[in-house]
Structure 1
Amino acid sequence: MELLHRGKVRDVYSDRPGEVILVATDRVSVYDVVLPTAIPDKGKLLTSLSLWWFEQLADVMPNHVISATDVPAEFAGRAVRCRQVDIVQVECIARGYLAGLGWDAYRETGKISGVEIAPGLLEGDKLPEPVFTPTTKTAPEDGHDEPMTFDEVSDAVGAELAETLREKTLELFKRATAITDGRGVHLADTKFEFGLAKDGTLLLADEVLTSDSSRYWRDEDWKPGQRQVSYDKQFVRDWARDLGTWDKTPPGPEIPPAVVEETRARYVAMYERITGLKWD
């Protein structure tokens, strides 16, 4: 196999023309820095949840998955064989609640990615309607992702594709929230990635609705007006931010064993609550 790319969390290999193998590792990154401590089973949890969601959303949009079993034995459980696609260079984010950078932008300007949001909302509040708030797709060595307006997306990829990205992002998000709402989960926001196959078909790609790419809150914890209890990577971000001693540049700090254990437990808990399956 040929290693094509090593990302913050995923490694991409090729062993056949037109196909790639996406391998999810146990690495964890915050603020675009890979931390030196791994989270046990994280790669398998991300892969399993992503595959479950690809199945749930297959009638909304085709995806790049070929097989979860036709992969090298050493990657079993944390790898997916996929069609090779050209990833659209826009991070397609849907938001249903005010949190994270979306909350910061709203508090400062009343807008997120140029979209006007109703005034008077609190941190953690549900938005009147989900919104499409794209960002640039920037390599960590080149800086951080920056918010994009819809017009900027149109300039970058063309008006027709931009409209499709917005439409599909919101359609996928609404389908996902219809599922999570019935399972005691608030899907606050998530990031989708899309890719163009050789025949020009737009496919849902990369990971989908994992605890790395999404913000998940339990119904019983949701309290607008404050920082929410996160069952996703935000738990590690909050720990790193609250240290007060790290400037968010490499090298990142070691994660204490108690935080590692709690992070894994939250990933498992959200996997089980969303899928209804027991994590083994």
Structure 2
Amino acid sequence: MTHETPPPASVAVDLPGWTHSYSGKVRDLYVPDAPSSAAAAKLSALDRVLVVASDRVSAFDHVLEPGIPGKGELLTTLSLWWFDRLADVPNHLVADHVMSKDAGTEHTVGLIPAAVAGRAMLCKRLAMFPIECVVRGYLTGSGWKEYQVSQTVCGIPLPAGLTNGDRLPEPLYTPAWKAPLGEHDENISFERTVELVGADVAAALRDASLSIFRAASAIAESAGVILADTKFEFGTDPETGVITLGDEVLTSDSSRYWDAAAWQNGTTPEARMASFDKQIVRDWLAANWDQTGTPPLLPTHIVKQTAARYRELLERLTE
């Protein structure tokens, strides 16, 4: 008996019942095949989308090689875990991840195909807002760089005397404009988000983001983990008109997570941060690439270390 080798989790694959629609840096999107029967048409009208997390890893707006083995499944598992913890926040998941069968038929378009089981989410299609809703609880990354120059983060004034890795007096909402694939996202002011989506929606996105961040931070801290910053994406549910949390949520790709004990006891910014995300990749790339031309291949030890940190975060949060 021969066994087919499963397709690499780093590339989009052919999935029965689904048509590949789009690939971002990390995720591949699929829509149901064109309906061939009345039952299929009824299901297709529900406007579902299959969101598949790949093993690709990106940094500095580039997709890197090789991918991180198992990353897609780890990210999906963590997203689903967080969606469960945020049950009072409307999200884009289809209940039980199963599209209902049409009465009297065996039609099951929408069930997650075996080839991507474990790293796919069955979701409602949303009318997404062109805004990344970034919340920062700690001073680090690009915020730290800006603070050293102007004592601000995304133009928001902060007290003097803060150091890299310090907890901010209050979480900051620092939205960004979602640039097309291959371009840099752009930090924008709250006033600019009002121009883009209107005052009511802009305020709702800000308030929801800060509320979710505070709730998630408390959950993470109970597991000895600091949620330093994260980004959320929202859209409108076309069936209900409700602003709905979409995309991934609170994963190692969309967030910075630090070990709380290391942060409290550390004497240097590096020791304080002890990250559970792709900071290992960012640091190695920053030290070995001038961000011109094609990025270098990630060495095996960086790939293994990153996979281990992703896995450890999932274990610590969910145990």
> TM-score, length-normalised on structure 1?
0.93
Which residue in the other structure is 1:6 paired with? 23
* Letter matched to residue 91 of structure 1: E
* Letter matched to residue 168 of structure 1: A
Which residue in the other structure is 1:131 paired with? 172
Equivalent-residue separation in structure 2 for 1:50 and 1:213 (angstroms): 10
Equivalent-residue separation in structure 2 for 1:97 and 1:85 (angstroms): 31
Equivalent-residue separation in structure 2 for 1:224 and 1:130 (angstroms): 23
Aligned 8 A contact 1:122 1:225 in 2: no
Equivalent-residue separation in structure 2 for 1:273 and 1:41 (angstroms): 17
Long gaps (5+) in structure 1: none
Q: Does the residue aligned with 1:130 lie in a helix, a strand or coil?
A: strand
More contact order relative to length (CA 8 Å, sep ≥ 6): 1
Which residue in the other structure is 1:106 paired with? 147
Q: Does the residue aligned with 2:187 lie in a helix, a strand or coil?
A: coil
Equivalent-residue separation in structure 1 for 2:299 and 2:115 (angstroms): 28
Which residue in the other structure is 2:91 paired with? 63
Which residue in the other structure is 1:150 paired with? 190
Which residue in the other structure is 1:33 paired with? 62
Equivalent-residue separation in structure 1 for 2:314 and 2:278 (angstroms): 13
Indicate yes or no: 2:231 matched with 1:191.
yes
| Structure 2 counterparts to residues 164-179 of structure 1, below 5 A | 164-179=204-219
**Deviation at 1:249?**
4.3
Indicate yes or no: 2:119 matched with 1:84.
no
> TM-score, length-normalised on structure 2?
0.82
Long gaps (5+) in structure 2: 1-17, 33-43, 99-110
**Deviation at 1:225?**
5.4
Equivalent-residue separation in structure 1 for 2:234 and 2:158 (angstroms): 26
Aligned 8 A contact 1:50 1:207 in 2: yes
| Greater gyration radius | 2
* Letter matched to residue 96 of structure 1: G
Equivalent-residue separation in structure 1 for 2:260 and 2:143 (angstroms): 20
Q: 1:257 aligns with which of 293, 296, 300?
A: 300
* Letter matched to residue 19 of structure 2: E
- Using a 3 Å threshold, how does the CA distance of structure 1 residues 50 and 224 change in structure 2: closer, same or farther? farther
- Using a 3 Å threshold, how does the CA distance of structure 1 residues 25 and 96 change in structure 2: closer, same or farther? same
Aligned 8 A contact 1:23 1:80 in 2: yes
* Letter matched to residue 271 of structure 1: L
**Deviation at 1:239?**
1.0
Cα deviations by residue, 1:73-111 (Å, 9 ceiling, x for unpaired): 111000000000011101101110001111112222222
**Deviation at 1:248?**
2.2
Equivalent-residue separation in structure 2 for 1:166 and 1:261 (angstroms): 36
Aligned 8 A contact 1:33 1:248 in 2: no
Which residue in the other structure is 1:240 paired with? 285
- Quick one: percent identity of the two aligned structures? 46
